[in-house]
Amino acid sequence: MPVRLSALILVVTALGCSTPANDAASPEVVRAAPAADAVPAALVPDAAMACDMCDEWNVPRAPFKVFGNTYFVGTQGLSSVLITTAEGLVLIDVALPQSAPLIDANIRALGLKTTDIRYILTSHAHYDHLGGVRSMQRFTKATVLASPSTAQALGLGHPVPEDPQFGTGPTDVFPAITSGIWTMNDGEAVALGGTSVTAHHTPGHTPGATSWTWQSCEGTRCLNMVYADSLTPVSKDGYRYTDHAGLVDTFRATIRKVSALPCDVIISTHPSATGMDDKVAKRLAASVAPGATGDPFVDAESCKALAAVSMKNLDARVAGEAGR
């Protein structure tokens, strides 16, 4: 069983920064890292997923530092974020099954060992974000962290029945995982190497959607990092959000919650949702170092901006349902 402690957590990254974590809105319960076991010699991916967008999403992208001990190691259209610590690595999302080798290669390109991953954190239970989790867990022996609903879906190998996209077709599946999962409560944190990453349940897109926050530092400067789960009201054909009691109110509460998160840098599950390509291009064109003056990734209004767009989209969806 994991160790749980009630504590104030000091965020101490591998780069030597130490500042209080800024998640005071909800008390943290911290879990200590499990002991690392022997791992296989190489990552063996599960069968590739075929979907309309899979090839476009899975175009390789060079890894890069976002800020401090936070790195983007995902693909062109699907995010995967790596957090380095003195005691190992934390990985958030593993995209498609065929994305796992690309993520592995990106981690190694940074001079790091994929087998040093101790935790794999998850956002929501769809194939384009959890598809590569099983092969990555098999390779690294890492513990998978998920909300209760997402953990249930991982065991099933498909979304839970309450998911607006449940039953969309044969592509709406992913490799099931039945062991090595810790369920994370809202406001609960996992600690590794002095870094604390907090789970925020943000249901709406799926029942178990989870966003994550932590702090990354450069020297004495620390920024609040947010990995924001999807806030889009996407569903199977014929589904009506307004037919499900309380769902619209829950989704609106989630959007307000994301808007209020401590947020200097945001990364979304699909990079396009927060304009990552544009930020990367601007950073390169201006030769701006991560976190330096003018870095487009640093924007204290970024969570509010995503929330504002998301609320408009949800309102439009609700208004559209009223007309049919």
- Alpha-carbon distance of 299 to 176, in angstroms, equals 37
Query: Is 158 one of the annotated active-site residues of the chain?
Result: no
Identify the active-site residue in 129, 158, 200, 201: 129
- Alpha-carbon distance of 50 to 260, in angstroms, equals 37
Identify the active-site residue in 23, 124, 201, 264: 124
Identify the active-site residue in 172, 186, 239, 299: 239
Query: Is 200 one of the annotated active-site residues of the chain?
Result: no
Query: Is 205 one of the annotated active-site residues of the chain?
Result: yes
Query: Is 239 one of the annotated active-site residues of the chain?
Result: yes
Residues with Cβ within 8 Å of residue 234, at least 6 apart in sequence = 164, 165, 205
Query: Is 126 one of the annotated active-site residues of the chain?
Result: yes
What CA–CA distances, in Å, run from 24 to 9, 27, 265?
10, 6, 18
Identify the active-site residue in 93, 128, 229, 295: 128
- String of b and e for 257-295 (b: at least 16 CB within 10 Å)? bbbebbbbbbbbbbbebbbbeebbeebeeeebebbeeeb
Nearest CA-CA partner of 123 in 217, 18, 232, 5: 232
Identify the active-site residue in 119, 158, 205, 227: 205
Identify the active-site residue in 46, 126, 200, 201: 126
- Alpha-carbon distance of 164 to 237, in angstroms, equals 9
- Alpha-carbon distance of 94 to 122, in angstroms, equals 8
Query: Is 241 one of the annotated active-site residues of the chain?
Result: no
Identify the active-site residue in 116, 186, 270, 299: 270
Signed CA dihedral, 96, 215, 192, 229: sign only: negative
Would you mind telling me the total number of residues written for the chain in this entry? Answer: 324
Query: Is 128 one of the annotated active-site residues of the chain?
Result: yes
Instruction: Provide φ and ψ at 228, rounded to 5°.
Output: -95, 125
- Alpha-carbon distance of 121 to 255, in angstroms, equals 21
Nearest CA-CA partner of 199 in 274, 132, 123: 123
Catalytic residue positions, numbered: 124, 126, 128-129, 205, 239, 270
